[in-house]
């Protein structure tokens, strides 16, 4: 039975393109985590751009997913990833499953640089799917800009979630 976790790592186009190729990932969707509104329209409501990630826990662990995630983020940067600046570009891990959050925290606490890491690990309180134009954006428009190197996006191209 698959499980879900949500990763925020700056502009969601590159994050989704990377995560969808990971072993054990069976589905991805671009969205917004932990804003206050259930809709896409309106003023910024505190959300973080994120990728809803459905995975097979028999094929990949939360710890594995965290290790992959840390390959594409600057875990020391507050509200900025690459050229993308603002609260919606913060880094975070969200889940409705408290075990996922415990495992994410344990991964961070197990790193020698844990005291410098600013990745938030919080319960998912609200999720809104992004508009269709943002779903699998880089697959549909490979020339669009992305803060992640193209070589990194294709590092694990064994999957098509």
- The token duo for 56 is 């097979």
Asked whether the predicted pLDDT for residue 116 surpasses 90, the reply is yes
pLDDT, tens only, 12-51: 989 999 999 999 999 999 999 999 998 888 889 999 999 9
**Owner of token pair 């992305």:** 146
Give residue 159's pLDDT band: very low, low, confident or very high (50, 70, 90): low
Report angle CA 17, 20, 21 to the nearest 5 degrees. Answer: 95
> Are the beta carbons of 101 and 95 closer than 8 angstroms?
yes
Single pTM value for the model: 0.93
Residues with a catalytic annotation lie at: 11
**Residue 72: its H or E element:** helix 62-72
Asked whether the predicted pLDDT for residue 154 surpasses 90, the reply is no
Backbone angles phi, psi at 142, to 5 degrees: -60, -20
């Amino acid at each position: 039975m698959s499980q879900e976790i949500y990763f925020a790592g700056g502009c969601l186009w590159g994050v989704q393109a990377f995560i969808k190729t990971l072993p054990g990932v069976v589905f991805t969707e671009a969205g917004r985590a932990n804003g206050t509104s259930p809709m896409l329209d309106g003023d910024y409501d505190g959300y973080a751009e994120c990728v809803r990630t459905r995975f097979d826990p028999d094929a990949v662990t939360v710890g594995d997913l965290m290790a992959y995630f840390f390959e594409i983020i600057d875990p020391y940067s507050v509200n900025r990833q690459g050229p993308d600046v603002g609260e919606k570009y913060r880094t975070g891990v969200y889940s409705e499953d408290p075990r996922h959050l415990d495992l994410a925290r344990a991964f961070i606490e197990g790193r020698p640089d844990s005291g410098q890491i600013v990745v938030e690990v919080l319960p998912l309180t609200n999720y809104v799917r992004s508009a269709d134009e943002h779903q699998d954006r880089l697959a549909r428009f490979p020339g669009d800009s992305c803060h992640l190197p193209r070589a990194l996006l294709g590092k694990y191209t064994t999957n098509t979630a």
